[in-house]
Amino acid sequence: MSQANQNTLKFLRRFSAVAVLLCLLNVNALAQTPAPTDEEPPVSFSADQMTFDRKNQIITATGKVEVSQEGRLMYADDISYDQKADVLTATGNVSILEPNGDVIFAKRLEVTGDMKDGIIEDIGLILADKSRFAATGARRSNANILEMRNAVYSPCNLCEEDPTAPPFWQLRAVRIIHDKSKQRIEYRDATLEIFGVPVAYTPYFAHPDPTVKRRSGLLIPKIGNSSDLGTTLQTPYYFALNKRSDLTVTPIITTKERAILALEYREFLKNGRIDFRGSLTYNLDNEWRGHMGTKGRFDIDQTWRWGFDVNRSIDGTYIRRYGFESDRTALSSGSPDSLVTHLFTEGFRGRNYISANAYAFQGLEQGDKFSTTPLVAPLIDYNHVGQPDRLGGRTVLDVNLLALTRTGSNDTRRLSIRGGWEVPFFTSFGDAFKLSAKMLGDFYNVGQLPRSDAPEDFTGFSGRLLPELTLSWRHPFVRQQGSGHQVIEPIASVVLSPYGGNTGKIPNEDSVDFEFDDTNLFRSSRFSGLDRVESGPRINYGLKWDIYGRDGGSTGFLIGQSYRVRRDNTFAALSGLEDHFSDIVARVQVKPIKLVDLTYRTRISKENLSPARNEIEFTFGAPLFRVGANYLFLDRQEDDEFSSREEISMNISSQLNRNWRTSASAVRDLAGGGQMRAANLNVSYENECCLIATNLSRTFFEDRDLTPTDSITFRVTLKTLGAVQTGTSLGE
């Protein structure tokens, strides 16, 4: 090979090294780009002119110099390579386009042949996420350290009308040092500017570079204020324990109480994960207060999995008073009035499902007593659906085993078996039938069960067997009308079973909460649980009418009633099912267009057509302005622990444009003298680089050491940088 060709080849290899160096200046790629090797990928090169100064051993390419390598494009006015000094220089409109979309600009670049040291003048970067970075100069040393002078960073878009105007926010530093070996970025004399106005200064701060997914360190503090705790300061510290687990320790300093220590632990295992949140404090009354919430989910194999939830609090008001409601909602799906501890395992295979559960509850209301709160262990369910037989029918089997234990009240042991066979069939006239034959068996062992039909408590064995035969029928009539169609469908079902089954020796643990409505009109048993059964011959009948438009709009109507041959005490007075003929239940659902959704449910007295239940759900509007309302009225049943309930809730939301959003909501108790229960207002602004949100809320409840409270929260999130949150809470 001639000397000229060898020099040209060497030049091209140095040239490809320049492309790699410029790529390294991209902070996102700094720790990911390998050093040049002897076997460089192919380089495509073009220039208007190329010369070789034999005397000074300098190769120069001038005029629209362009090079591409592995999807990376680089442009410059001039590039030269000094063989004696082993220095390569690129000048004039140096730019590079990375395969990931990043764009890098520089005025001048100079780098040594071994790529360990180099300098760049007037560097600018536009990252793929449209973030911008600029510096007057940069220097690379020891192949690992990149130091930038007078650097500015911002993820905000520039103003289209005036690109020279300052962005929404930017971070300016006298020096930024990126140590590749430590995967660390340091800022010296850094200033945060909002619209060009300095608002915060720090002489030094550092954080891991983007190649680091997790690293131990101090997180952004949070400042707040509460009428119960005074001014609060949270200073969380994050521990990256290993690749699969981490721990966040948060000391919380307050001005009205002693310090609180909060913990959050997370661990990913090969077959699941564990989450833990908890807190502990020793208050000014010299009492320990705290809470814990743990959640675990694990896969055993393709059939079985198991898990647990452990949620406990030292007292009933601690979680709300100290602001840990988010821990409870994140780790438990129970009621806000109780904490649930749950251990379970379950398996799915073919047409079979089985689960085993154990529950423990902690009531948070003032009247809750541990002695009457049951421990549920075990609760076992087995469900099986058979293969279709030659008649098209299927066998079904449901088995339930339950044990409830109380320290100061009645205990219950129950075995429930529901087995049967069901078959659908159709006639040539369009009738759809379904025949179902079942046997219900419940066996109990109870202790100290209070009886309404006897003065003494009952302890011993009890049970029932109840055969049940159900025939359901429906006949849809379809009519095409204009651009849409309508379906009118009469529905009826006949249920035959003997009377009885709900004796005083059988407890009612899971069927206390009962409401007759359109959702259970055609069920063979309207109770939600297994402790109560609906017995005796009965007929359910109704009419369903649906109208469907061509553009997706629809209107639906359902009305129905039930008839029982004999009156008995299966259902309580005022339940709507205590007489031969039940109350009338109905539902209307109107969705003419996507912007409107109205649902109305009601139960009307058969005697005078007065409403015993009214529920209205309504939403209207586009994202620009959307309003929703929910009204609920429930008349009291004779054996219901709650009185009549009537409340209304409303919410309004508006997305004024792509940046501004606002929403408001309120709940009013109409049955309790028209008292407000909760109110909330939220206003937020969001663009490509920040989120600013303000929330105002008020609670109206009183519970022991909790009083009605006004709360104001202000949160600022600088995207890619972090969030700052402050809040205040004013109690009465």
The CATH number assigned to the domain holding 56 equals 2.60.450.10
Residue (of 524, 465, 469, 522) closest to 496 by Cα position: 469
Q: Does residue 460 form part of some domain?
A: no
Q: What does the alpha-carbon distance between residue 333 and residue 555 come to, in Å, rounded to a whole number?
A: 34
The pTM is what? 0.80
Cis amide linkage into residue 378, ω under 30° from 0: yes
With 0-12 CB in 10 A as exposed, 13-18 as middle and 19+ as buried, what is 136? Answer: middle
Q: Are 580 and 542 in contact (CB under 8 A)?
A: no
pLDDT of amino acid 730: 54
Residue 403 lies in a domain: no
The answer to whether 485 and 526 are in contact (CB under 8 A) is no
34-68 as b/e, with b when 16 or more CB fall inside 10 Å?
eebeeebeebebebeebebeeeeebbbbbeebebb
Segment holding 667, helix H or strand E: strand 660-669
Residue 692: domain span: 644-732
Report if residue 592 sits inside a domain: no
Type of residue at 349? R
Question: What was the pLDDT predicted at 28?
Answer: 38
20: Cβ contacts below 8 Å, ≥ 6 apart: 33, 35, 36, 115
Extract the residue ranges of the chain whose pLDDT is less than 50: 1, 4, 20-37
Using CA atoms, how far residue 222 sits from 136, 278, 522, 583, 691, in Å, is 35, 18, 54, 56, 16
Task: Examine the fold and report which residue of 181, 208, 242 is the final residue of a domain before the chain moves on.
Answer: 181
Q: At 490, which amino acid appears? A: P
Residues 6 or more apart from 454 whose CB is under 8 A from it? 504
Last residue of a domain, one of 181, 199, 232: 181
- Does a structural domain hold residue 398? no
Domain assignment of residue 91, yes or no: yes
> Are residues 124 and 109 in contact, defined by beta-carbon separation less than 8 angstroms?
no
- Give CA separation, 583 vs 567, 603, 610, 631, in Å: 14, 6, 10, 20
pLDDT (0 to 100) of residue 184: 83
pLDDT for residue 671? 80
With respect to residue 671, please indicate whether it lies within any of the assigned structural domains: yes
CA 56 to chain centre: 67
- Whether 176 is covered by a domain: the verdict is yes
Asked if the structure places residue 522 within a domain, the reply is: no
Regarding beta strands 87-97 and 103-112, do their DSSP bridges make them parallel or antiparallel, or are they unpaired?
A: antiparallel
Cβ neighbours of residue 95 closer than 8 Å, sequence gap 6 or more: 74, 75, 76, 103, 104, 105, 106
Boundary (domain end) residue, out of 181, 206, 232: 181
- Alpha carbon 186 to its chain centroid, in Å, reads 34
Give the total number of structural domains in the chain: 2
pLDDT of residue 23: 45
- pLDDT given for residue 336 in this prediction: 67
